[in-house]
Chain A
């Protein structure tokens, strides 16, 4: 488990005093059918983009709230990581993109019959959003609507 205690003092103070957004009212969707019949969508906050997409903009005050679609056939090593945070060790993600966007593990689960199928595209955000107003009001609803249009049943969300 990551711990606040192991973070730099400046970040620790920030995280301790930050007004975290409470999800209220609680949101809940039941599992609609057995997982072996479900279509899975992945969501990462790893700041990954395709080589032909604009990278995330680390200069946006309060955090870049935009998102990128990562197609199912993306070659993981080719994805560009532009996450601005210095609060985590980027070496793991550089060595294995599955740590943020586990497409390879997803393919294995489908092959094993544990999951029905993977969606044709997956979502990438950059997680360093300290002012999430536009994420909540604009980009998250828009991205979620994309998954709904795709017929996604279940989603796995992976922070970095």
Chain B
């Protein structure tokens, strides 16, 4: 349900002019709900940014999300995948 909750908040932010990027743990739910810009991450629930204490790995996830903010062109939804490679 978390994937839907953040997606619905993202839509509300976008309607008010705030550009968003949403991390997604279940790709199928993002396909159904359609958050404006979504980055599907290869991690289990509870670990959207990867491992606890892994500063570098968490930073790479956020950098990928920021890069999607810069590169995605509307109208959305845009759904991309974060690779660990």
Contacts and interface: CB of A to CB of B under 8 A. Distances in A.
B55 A32 contact: no
Interface in B27-84: 27-29, 32-36, 40-53, 55, 58-59, 62-63, 65-66, 69-70, 74-77
A13 interface: no
A88 B70 contact: no
Contacts of B10: 27, 43, 155, 157
B32 A22 contact: yes
A63 B1 contact: yes
> Interface size bucket, B side?
35 or more
B46 A156 contact: no
Contacts of B70: 31, 35
A140 to B, nearest CB: 4
B18 A157 contact: no
- Of A4, A32, A45, A130, chain B has the most CB atoms within 10 Å of the CB of A45
Interface in A52-110: 63, 85, 87-93, 95-96, 98-100, 102, 104-106, 108-109
A157 B68 CA distance: 13
B29 A1 contact: no
Contact of B75 (A28, A128, A129): A28
B73 to A, nearest CB: 8
Contacts of A50: none
A125 B18 contact: no
A127 to B, nearest CB: 3
B76 A43 contact: no
A112 to B, nearest CB: 9
Given A135-B8, A159-B3, 5 more contacts: A23-B11, A44-B6, A99-B58, A105-B58, A128-B5
Interface of A: 1-4, 6, 15, 20-24, 26-32, 35, 41, 43-45, 63, 85, 87-93, 95-96, 98-100, 102, 104-106, 108-109, 114-115, 123, 125, 127-130, 132, 135-136, 140-141, 143-145, 147-148, 152-160
5 contacts: A143-B12, A145-B16, A155-B21, A157-B35, A159-B6
